[in-house]
């Protein structure tokens, strides 16, 4: 869309950019540039114009769009970036694009999800104008047979993106919740397709949802969930900045995969599960009986070493754990 391209040029320029330069760069008429600028102003962008100098961006609203995100990325990255105002789930949209042959690195991002999916069949609240809801397609060159490394690497990648975008540190609750002040600000849902013959994973849809500008949560989750804004006294953040940093981090993850020790080291640094009392729930029985013990360490394969109350020591590879002191668990 021309509006996205014009926005990209105006956003990237720290000074005035002339209408002539824009029309030349985009191969469109000056009138078309004027119309695009008018539409951007209607969206809330404060763009001043001066007869001799051209256009200058004075203020940006917190709007996600292909233009606002790709302005912060290298030019070629926009090719595999799809933005929607509203979808049921970015994971679902990307899954169907993957089945039509979308390339590794394709990103689907939306301002709003009507059916955002969480782990274990739960829903993920995805209101408009508040969060970053993004799915990243990863097709490893040689298949692999366990997903835990990838979801844990992703937690590190998103933590780094938040740090780069806004300067904040986050923590990781095993296996891949990101926390700020001990409450959840980000969830990750990785869905895979497995090659029948080898059992290797060949396509991964990595779904990432970050609570950025929400000002409140429904009572049933307010003890668990928070947003970056709530934890910073109601300050609002530009989501396009975070979206672009997540894309950069995930591109780096894809090129580092599978042979970098950075992710395990950083995961261990950020993790706040070890040393705590936990209750572990086996795969399908979160509401059933859990087993209580102490989380001892993160193993090299990102599994969690736990010493249970009966003295047995086990490595948890998947499932869910409640951590004492987090999410209202006392
Ligand atoms: C969880 O913590 O339970 C995982 C939440 C994952 C939410 C993200 S938002 C983008 C992507 N699309 C979805 O439907 N879910 C993931």
What would the pLDDT profile of 187-244 be if each residue is shown by its tens digit? 999 999 988 888 888 899 999 999 999 999 989 899 999 999 999 999 999 999 999 9
Could you tell me what percent of the chain has a pLDDT over 70? 98
d(CA 291, CA 289): 7
Q: Which of 116, 184, 210 to mutate for ligand 1's pocket (most ligand atoms within 8 Å of CB)?
A: 116
Q: What angle do CA 127, 132, 138 make, to 5 degrees?
A: 130
Q: Is the CB of 131 under 6 A from ligand 1?
A: no
pLDDT at 319: 84
pLDDT at 289: 79
CA of 146 to the centre of ligand 1 (A): 20
Q: Is the pTM of this model over 0.75?
A: yes
Q: Report domain extents, the chain.
A: 2-59, 66-270, 277-323
According to DSSP H, which parts of the chain are helical? Answer: 2-12, 19-26, 30-43, 66-70, 90-99, 148-166, 239-256, 262-270
Query: In the predicted model, is pLDDT for residue 102 greater than 70?
Result: yes
Total residue length of the chain: 330
- For residue 91, the ligand 1 atom closest to its alpha carbon is 12
Q: Identify the CA nearest to 23 among candidates 34, 38, 13, 39.
A: 34
pLDDT at 318: 85
- For residue 92, the ligand 1 atom closest to its alpha carbon is 14
- For residue 120, the ligand 1 atom closest to its alpha carbon is 3
Class of domain 66-270: alpha beta
Could you tell me what percent of the chain has a pLDDT over 90? 85
Query: In the predicted model, is pLDDT for residue 283 greater than 80?
Result: no
- For residue 126, the ligand 1 atom closest to its alpha carbon is 9
Class of domain 277-323: mainly beta
CA of 208 to the centre of ligand 1 (A): 5
pLDDT at 198: 84
- What is the 8-class DSSP label of residue 210? E
Query: In the predicted model, is pLDDT for residue 93 greater than 90?
Result: yes
Q: What angle do CA 254, 124, 113 make, to 5 degrees?
A: 80
pLDDT at 305: 97
Q: Is the CB of 207 under 6 A from ligand 1?
A: yes
Tally the C-alpha atoms within 13 A of residue 65's C-alpha that lie toward its C-beta: 20
CA of 240 to the centre of ligand 1 (A): 18
CA of 262 to the centre of ligand 1 (A): 25
- For residue 117, the ligand 1 atom closest to its alpha carbon is 14
**Please, what is the end-to-end C-alpha distance for the chain in angstroms?**
52
d(CA 4, CA 66): 6
- CB distance 321 to 327 below 8 Å: no
d(CA 200, CA 195): 5
Widest distance between CA atoms in the chain: 79
CA of 90 to the centre of ligand 1 (A): 8
Q: What is the rounded average pLDDT of the residues 28-36? A: 96
Enter the CATH code of domain 2-59.
1.10.10.10
d(CA 188, CA 179): 12
Q: Identify the CA nearest to 91 among candidates 177, 161, 189.
A: 189
215, 220, 223, 229: CA torsion to nearest 10? -10
């Amino acid at each position: 869309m021309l509006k996205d391209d014009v926005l990209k040029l105006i956003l990237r320029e720290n000074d005035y950019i002339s209408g002539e330069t824009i029309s030349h760069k985009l191969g469109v008429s000056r009138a078309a540039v004027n119309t695009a600028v008018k539409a951007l102003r209607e969206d809330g962008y404060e763009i001043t114009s001066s007869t001799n100098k051209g256009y200058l961006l004075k203020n940006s609203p917190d709007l996600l769009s292909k233009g606002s995100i790709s302005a912060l990325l290298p030019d070629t990255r926009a090719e595999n970036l799809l933005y929607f105002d509203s979808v049921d789930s970015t994971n679902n949209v990307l899954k169907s694009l993957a089945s039509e042959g979308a390339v590794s690195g394709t990103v689907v991002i939306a301002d709003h999800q009507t059916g955002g999916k969480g782990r274990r069949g739960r829903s993920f609240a995805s209101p408009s104008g508040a969060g970053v809801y993004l799915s990243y397609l990863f097709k490893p060159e040689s298949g692999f047979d366990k997903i835990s490394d990838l979801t844990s690497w992703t937690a590190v990648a998103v933590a780094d993106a938040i740090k780069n975008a806004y300067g904040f540190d986050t923590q990781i609750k095993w296996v891949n919740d990101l926390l700020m002040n001990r409450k959840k600000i980000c969830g990750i849902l990785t869905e895979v397709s497995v090659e029948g013959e080898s059992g290797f994973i060949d396509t991964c849809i990595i779904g990432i949802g970050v609570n950025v500008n929400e000002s409140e949560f429904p009572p049933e989750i307010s003890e668990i969930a928070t947003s970056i804004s709530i934890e910073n006294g109601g300050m609002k953040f530009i989501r396009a900045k975070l979206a672009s940093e997540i894309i950069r981090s995930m591109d780096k993850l894809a090129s580092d995969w599978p042979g970098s020790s950075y992710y395990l080291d950083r995961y261990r640094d950020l993790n706040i599960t070890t040393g705590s009392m936990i209750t572990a729930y086996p795969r399908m029985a979160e509401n059933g009986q859990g087993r209580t013990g102490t989380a001892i360490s993160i193993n090299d394969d990102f599994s969690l070493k736990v010493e249970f109350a009966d003295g047995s020591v086990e490595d948890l590879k998947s499932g869910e754990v409640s951590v004492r002191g987090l999410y209202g668990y006392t």
